[in-house]
Structure 1
Amino acid sequence: MKKIPALLLILFAVAAGAWLGTTQKTPAPLKPDRIQGAIYPTAKELKGFELQDQHKQKFSREDLLHHWSLIFVGYTHCPDVCPTTLAIMSKIDKIMREQDLQPPQIIFLTIDPERDTSEVIKPYIEYFNQNFIGLTGPLDEISRFTLQLNAVFRKSAGAGGEITADNYLMDHSSALMLINPDGDLQSILTAPHSPGIVLESILKSQTYYEFNHKE
Structure 2
Amino acid sequence: MRALRRALVALGAALLLASCSSGNADSPAATTPPPQLKAASFPSPLDVPKPDLVDLKGQPYDFAQQFRGKVTLLYFGYANCPDVCPTTMADIARAYQQLDEGQRKRAQVVMVTSDPDRDTPEAFGEWLRQFNPDFVGVTGKVDDIVKAAHSVAIGLEAPKANDSGDYEVTHGAQVLLYTPEAKATGYYRSGASSDDMLTDLRALLDR
Query: Which band: TM-score by shorter chain?
Result: 0.7 to 0.9
- Structure with greater Cα Rg: 2
CA contact (8 A) 1:155 1:168 kept: no
Q: Are 1:162 and 2:160 counterparts?
A: no
Alpha-carbon separation, structure 1, partners of 2:77 and 2:117: 13
CA contact (8 A) 1:49 1:141 kept: yes
Deviations 1:162-215 (CA, angstroms, capped at 9, x unpaired): 364xx31323211111122222222212221221111123344567xx5xxxxx
Q: 2:46 aligns to what? A: 44
Instruction: Give the direction of change, closer, same or farther, for the CA distance of 1:206–1:187 in structure 2 (3 Å limit).
Output: farther
CA contact (8 A) 1:186 1:205 kept: no
Q: Structure 2 residue aligned with 1:33, among 33, 36, 42?
A: 36
CA contact (8 A) 2:115 2:159 kept: no
Cα displacement (A) at 1:72: 0.9
Bigger drift between 82-91 and 47-56 goes to: 47-56
Q: Are 1:86 and 2:85 counterparts?
A: no
Tell me the secondary structure at the aligned position of residue 75 of structure 2. strand
Deviations 1:114-150 (CA, angstroms, capped at 9, x unpaired): 2222122111111211000111101121112111221
Alpha-carbon separation, structure 1, partners of 2:95 and 2:171: 22
Cα displacement (A) at 1:32: 6.3
CA contact (8 A) 2:150 2:156 kept: no
Q: Are 1:70 and 2:73 counterparts?
A: yes
Cα displacement (A) at 1:89: 1.3
Bigger drift between 70-79 and 102-111 goes to: 102-111
Q: 1:139 aligns to what? A: 142
Instruction: Give the direction of change, closer, same or farther, for the CA distance of 1:168–1:95 in structure 2 (3 Å limit).
Output: same
Q: 2:152 aligns to what? A: 149
Alpha-carbon separation, structure 2, partners of 1:31 and 1:93: 21
CA contact (8 A) 2:93 2:131 kept: yes
Alpha-carbon separation, structure 1, partners of 2:188 and 2:204: 10
Bigger drift between 77-86 and 47-56 goes to: 47-56
Bigger drift between 26-35 and 67-76 goes to: 26-35
Q: 1:182 aligns to what? A: 181
Read off the aligned partner of 1:106 and give its amino acid letter: V
Instruction: Give the direction of change, closer, same or farther, for the CA distance of 1:189–1:206 in structure 2 (3 Å limit).
Output: farther
CA contact (8 A) 1:52 1:118 kept: no
Q: Structure 1 residue aligned with 2:57, among 49, 55, 58?
A: 55
TM-score by length of 2: 0.73
Q: Are 1:199 and 2:201 counterparts?
A: no
Instruction: Give the direction of change, closer, same or farther, for the CA distance of 1:145–1:48 in structure 2 (3 Å limit).
Output: closer
Q: Which runs of 5+ in 2 are unaligned?
A: 1-24
